[in-house]
Amino acid sequence: MSDNNGSDKKRFCTNCGTQAIGNEKFCTNCGAQLPPMGNSRPASGAGPAGSPPGGETPSGGTGTPPPGGTWQQPAYPNGSYPGNGQEKKKKSPVKLILIIAGVVIILLIAMTVMSGSEENGDSQAVEATEAQAEAAGGETEEKLSEDEGKTEAAGSAEETETEKETDVGRMTAYELYSALQDNEVAAFTLNEKTSAFLQDHDDLFPAASLEAVTGAGVVDESLEARQITKSPDRYGDRLMYLPELQVIQITEGEIDTDWYLTEINAIDMAGQQYYIFYEGTLDDIFENDWITAYALALGSTTFENTEGGETWTIPMAGSYVEKWDETGSVQAAAEPVMPVPETESQAASGGDAGMYQTMYVVNCNESITLRTEPSTKAAEICQIPLGAVVSYIEPAENGFYKVVYLGQTGYALASYLSF
């Protein structure tokens, strides 16, 4: 009875045959649900779950436990025998989907990698091709640049050569007046001040307009000829204003093609002569015309006059020369005529009571000639000694003044007369 009672209380897992201990509801070995209490053994002729049908016991196993012992799970080569009551596990559809998705993802990644490799290869090939093309283009561009540079240089050289051919002899103001220093008429020597002035004010020789001269701020209207003759090196840094000059002689020479130098021998109302070198032409100015000039004094010198003597003159670099207006007259622009004392007037004019300006013979060795016409070829009336007084009547042609000396009216060179 005791054996039967004890065996009735024992329970075994119908799935794996493991004996249950206590009142647990699930197998501690496989997790299957245990049979209820009082139904612990497998049915007669049948082994535990997983044993072969018909109660057969495989080698190494027993179908019925020995008296007083426990039933042992038979050992099968591949695990538990799939006997009655054991279901085969089904594959989960979710797991299958995940596997398929994983495979697809792997294939996509592989394809992307392969495509990227191909694109990189193509990109590198394109870049290499572009680099080669760029290098070739750079060489071509550099070659073209060199050719253009050579062409431009050749053109520039040709242009320079053409300029030299068409502009031979063109000089700056300083170069021009440096070359004129040893001229045969009114030689001079450039000092430090005149040299610097010519270099600093090249655009004023000649000036484009009167406004260009007056606007430069380099004109000294108070400067006089006597200051120049006294100290020629002192006033070479400013232009001299000569408001009233009569042209005694004017010549125009062509230095080069379309490049001219005009030389003016002129005299002021005081009898002082000036020799003006002017770069360019003065188409409306002729002998005996009256002009206004702005010029740079280059010193003082003498030249041989037609009477065989020497005349003091001031060589000038002409900046601006302008002819007097046709409506004006020399007398209107000159200083007012001062009355001559009667005794002096009578002595000078032989009893003529006419009111004339008094002039004196200057710039000669002994005397000058009073002639019948305003020409050095005209007949001589008499000789007027140095320092003698004459009465000025009016200007005449060819650099002569009409004067009265000891009652005789004639013509004397203006360059030897001074107020």
48-93 pLDDT tens trace: 444 444 444 444 444 445 454 555 555 444 444 444 444 445 556 7
Asked whether residue 134 falls in the same domain as residue 235, the answer is no
Domain harbouring 352, CATH code: 2.30.30.40
Assess whether 136 and 179 both reside in one domain. Answer: no
pLDDT exceeds cutoff 80 at 227: yes
Low-confidence winner among 24-28, 157-161, 228-232, 287-291 (lowest mean pLDDT): 157-161
Both 79 and 95 in one domain: the answer is no
Determine the Cα–Cα distance for residues 235 and 312; give it in Å rounded to an integer: 18
- Shared-domain flag, residues 239 and 228: yes
What is the number of structural domains in the chain?
4
Whether residues 387 and 326 fall in one domain:
no
Residues in the chain: 419
- Of 102-106, 159-163, 364-368, which gets the smallest average pLDDT? 159-163
Which structural domain, as residue segments, surrounds residue 318? 173-331
Q: Which of 124, 146, 166 is the last residue of a domain?
A: 166
Same domain, 224 and 298: yes
Say if residue 291 is in the same domain as residue 366.
no
307-327 burial, b for 16+ CB within 10 Å, e for fewer? bebebebbbbbbbbbeebeee
Percent of the chain with pLDDT over 70: 63
Domain boundary among 118, 140, 166: 166
Q: Are residues 129 and 226 in the same domain?
A: no
Shared domain check, 106 and 52: no
Looking at residue 33, the DSSP 8-state letter turns out to be B
- Reported as a single tens digit per residue, the pLDDT across 389-411 is 899 999 988 889 999 998 889 99
Specify the CATH number for the domain of residue 191: 2.40.50.110
Asked which of 8-22, 113-127, 342-356 is least confident by mean pLDDT, the reply is: 342-356
Across the range 180-195, mean pLDDT stands at 93
Domain match, 193 and 118 both? no
Residue 34: count of CB within 10 angstroms of its CB: 21
pLDDT digits (tens, 9 = 90+) for 118-145: 666 556 665 666 666 566 556 656 665 6
Q: Are 410 and 372 in contact (CB under 8 A)?
A: yes
- What is the pTM (predicted TM-score) of this model? 0.46
The sign of the CA dihedral 177, 181, 184, 187 is positive
Residue 325 has pLDDT above 60, yes or no: yes
| CB proximity list for 83: less than 8 A, separation 6 or greater | 47, 49, 50, 51, 52, 53
Q: Quickly state the pLDDT bin for 278 (edges 50, 70, 90).
A: very high
Same domain, 342 and 391: yes
Distance CA 317, CA 218 (A): 14
**Can you tell me whether residue 55 is helix, strand or coil?**
helix
Q: Which of 147, 166, 185 is the last residue of a domain?
A: 166
Asked if residue 186 and residue 310 are part of one domain, the reply reads yes
